[in-house]
Structure 1
Amino acid sequence: MKRLKDETLSIRTSADIKQLLKLAAVREHRSVASMVEVLVLAYAQVHGLEAAPVAPINAGERKKKHGTD
């Protein structure tokens, strides 16, 4: 299922964790961002987590939400 990517995530982590994430991404032929998504989705599936449905918003509301007015 294709997901709309309209959110930004920024984290601080240790050099070890960053290195492991990069190694995992290379092994899977993915970007680091894609690898994070895969890991989160796998965790959610194992632990029975499901995101609440988000109502679609129109372009005007999106501009207000993201401050691009």
Structure 2
Amino acid sequence: MNDEKRVSVSFRVTPHFKRLLEAAAKLENRSQTNMLETLVFAYGKNIGLEDATKNMQVQGEKIND
């Protein structure tokens, strides 16, 4: 992780998803946010998404990891 500015993300999930996220985060001794970041970054790396997003832009800002 670098010193990027943090942004808020808000979305609704099912109670089952929330329970699974809470359990996974607790098992890994992570916050729920860190658990989601870890899972999404690992998924992106696994399918090669990191390389594809290097030059993409979202709302005028480069996507960086």
Which entry has the higher C-alpha Rg, 1 or 2?
Answer: 1
* Structure 2 match to 1:6: 6
1:48 aligns with 2:40: no
Deviation at 1:2, TM superposition (A): 2.6
With the length of structure 2 as denominator, give the TM-score of the two structures: 0.72
Runs of at least 4 residues off by over 6 Å: none
Structure 2 residues not aligned, in runs of 5+: 56-61
Give 3-state SS (helix, strand or coil) of 2:49's partner: coil
Give 3-state SS (helix, strand or coil) of 2:4's partner: coil
Between structures 1 and 2, the one with greater strand share: 2
* Structure 2 match to 1:24: 24
Q: Which has the higher contact order (CA 8 A, sep 6+)?
A: 2
With the length of structure 1 as denominator, give the TM-score of the two structures: 0.68
Deviation at 1:8, TM superposition (A): 1.1
Structure 1 residues not aligned, in runs of 5+: 56-69
